[in-house]
């Protein structure tokens, strides 16, 4: 994967940005910050010319309604609604009408500040968590479904499970608790990314990200739930019951993490001292779902706040000081060419689709593999390297002909690579 910074948008009056949200369906980018700053932007790639000027703004609307610092933003993409909250606890739901954004609903408990908001995967329910432990679940039409109180340590965030059955809350003391969708306590998640519970105590969870599977999974039962701590410890799990999570130490002061469009890459942002530099810099680490470091990118500026992916994951945006930086992603596509046949892959709902396209007669043969690591082609055959779904964790090498038929198969203990 190759990544590089491509564009920078400045917010007027040097107003500091605290949060971003990128609508993956319609492409709107919500920007929230100090002094009630709330904007909805949209990049129009169709008007750009050349690689240097990747996009221009086709929408730049300022939304008036907040007076305090806007701290939490989330989209309901199915119903084209934007939900925002500020430091005073004011929540506003926005909807688009005739090309402009307008207030639809307003709510304020007047007791505490909102620390997290999340819509379930079908956009029917929203969960709002407050710093004082209050949790409210409401419907898309504004009706309250239920509320609970989590006494003790302040809350820092919330996530829905992909199937909408569970709510996961992160606490300032580092705990992560699971409740069902009716508000009943289920369990505490075992945290393995610290040497002991004593070390973990007092280290807050800064971000949780649970990929909802909307664009298919890389493989069956793959890691898709990430918990990120302020000290850079990262725990990636298959689900909230996973007792063998993937553990990563990013060696950075983390502030945010988020999955790309198909849950294959996790972006973790924060600050760190890079090997070739003597001072702390803003960085983003791109980590695979198996915890492998793919790429590190240094970001200019003083304080980085968050990052968000575009719907296709070919761009990623960062909030730094009073600027929104955009980076272009160039993925490592899995493809090859042999015997007048182009073989290429793309993710699907049930696995990775591999197509064999005969460029001479236009015939296409397809197969689905559960977890494609890489592929290579030479002369009359191609080799598909896949990861087994069984507990053995073995890797398979499948030799295929031009019509996708396997002609030989071998198994390995170590992960294969084209390098």
Contact 383, 374 (CB under 8 A): no
- Tell me: the pLDDT tens digits for 163-188? 999 999 999 889 999 999 999 999 99
Confidence at residue 50, expressed as pLDDT on a 0 to 100 scale: 43
Cα–Cα distance for residue pair 217/390, rounded to 1 Å: 16
Q: 237-246 contacts: CB < 8 A, separation 24 or more?
A: 237/189, 239/161, 240/161, 240/166, 240/168, 240/178, 240/187, 240/189, 241/187, 243/190, 245/192, 245/193, 246/289, 246/290, 246/291
Contact 44, 55 (CB under 8 A): yes
Query: What three-state secondary structure class fits 266?
Result: strand
- Tell me: the pLDDT tens digits for 29-81? 999 999 999 999 998 765 444 444 456 788 999 999 999 999 999 999 999 99
Residues 6+ apart with CB under 8 A from 181: 125, 137, 164, 165, 166, 167
Q: Which CATH superfamily is domain 2-330 in?
A: YVTN repeat-like/Quinoprotein amine dehydrogenase (2.130.10.10)
What DSSP string runs through 103-168?
A: EEEEEE-SSS-EEEEEE-TTSSEEEEEETTSEEEEEETTS-EEEEEE--SSPEEEEEE-TTSSEEE
Cα–Cα distance for residue pair 414/419, rounded to 1 Å: 14
Tokens of 26: 């319609």
Rounded to an integer, the average pLDDT of 208-220 is 87
Cα–Cα distance for residue pair 232/249, rounded to 1 Å: 6
Confidence at residue 358, expressed as pLDDT on a 0 to 100 scale: 96
Confidence at residue 51, expressed as pLDDT on a 0 to 100 scale: 43
Give percent above pLDDT 90 in the chain: 78
Rounded to an integer, the average pLDDT of 102-112 is 92
Question: 0.85 cut: is pTM over it?
Answer: yes
Domain ranges for the chain: 2-330, 335-412
DSSP element (H, E) containing 199: helix 197-200
Which bin fits 147, alpha (ψ -120 to 50), beta or left (φ > 0)?
Answer: beta
Q: Give the chain's end-to-end CA distance (angstroms, integer).
A: 13
Query: In 3D, which of 402, 400, 407, 399 has the Cα closest to residue 360?
Result: 402
Dump strand ranges (E) for 154-240.
Answer: 155-160, 166-171, 176-180, 185-188, 205-210, 225-229, 233-237
Rounded to an integer, the average pLDDT of 220-240 is 94
């Amino acid at each position: 994967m190759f990544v590089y910074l491509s564009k920078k948008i400045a917010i007027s009056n040097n107003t500091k940005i605290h949060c971003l949200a990128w609508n993956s369906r319609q492409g709107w980018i919500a920007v929230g910050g100090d002094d009630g700053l709330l904007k909805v932007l949209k990049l129009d790639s169709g008007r750009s010319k050349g690689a240097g000027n990747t996009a221009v703004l086709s929408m730049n609307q300022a939304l008036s309604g907040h007076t305090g610092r806007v701290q939490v933003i989330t989209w309901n993409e199915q119903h084209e609604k934007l939900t925002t909250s500020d430091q005073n606890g004011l929540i506003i739901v926005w909807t688009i009408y005739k090309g402009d954004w307008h207030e639809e609903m307003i709510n304020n408990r007047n007791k505490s500040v909102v620390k997290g908001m999340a819509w379930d995967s079908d956009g029917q329910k929203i969960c709002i968590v407050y710093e004082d432990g209050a949790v409210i679940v409401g419907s898309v039409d504004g009706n309250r479904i239920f509320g609970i109180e989590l006494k003790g340590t302040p809350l820092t965030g919330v996530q829905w499970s992909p199937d909408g059955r569970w709510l996961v809350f992160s606490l300032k003391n580092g705990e992560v608790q699971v409740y069902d969708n009716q508000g009943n306590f289920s369990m505490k998640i075992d945290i393995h990314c610290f040497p002991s519970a004593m070390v973990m105590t007092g280290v807050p969870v800064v971000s949780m990200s649970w990929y909802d599977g909307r664009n298919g999974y890389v493989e069956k039962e793959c890691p898709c739930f990430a918990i990120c701590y302020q000290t850079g410890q990262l725990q990636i799990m298959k689900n909230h019951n996973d007792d063998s999570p993937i553990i990563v130490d990013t060696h950075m002061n983390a502030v945010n993490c988020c999955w790309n469009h198909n849950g294959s890459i996790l972006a973790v942002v924060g600050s760190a001292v890079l090997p070739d530099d003597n001072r702390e810099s803003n960085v983003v680490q791109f980590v695979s779902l198996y915890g492998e470091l793919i790429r590190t990118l240094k970001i200019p500026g003083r304080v980085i706040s968050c990052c968000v992916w575009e719907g296709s994951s070919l761009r990623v945006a960062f909030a730094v000081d009073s600027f929104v930086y955009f980076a272009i992603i160039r993925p490592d596509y899995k493809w090859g060419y042999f015997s007048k046949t182009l073989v290429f892959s793309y993710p699907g709902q049930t696995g990775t689709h591999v197509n064999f396209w005969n460029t001479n007669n236009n015939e296409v043969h397809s197969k689905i593999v559960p977890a494609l690591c890489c592929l290579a082609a030479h002369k009359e055959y191609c080799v598909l390297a896949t990861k087994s779904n069984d507990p053995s964790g073995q890797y398979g090498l499948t030799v295929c002909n031009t019509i996708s038929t396997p002609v030989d198969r071998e198994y390995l203990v170590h992960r294969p690579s084209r390098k």
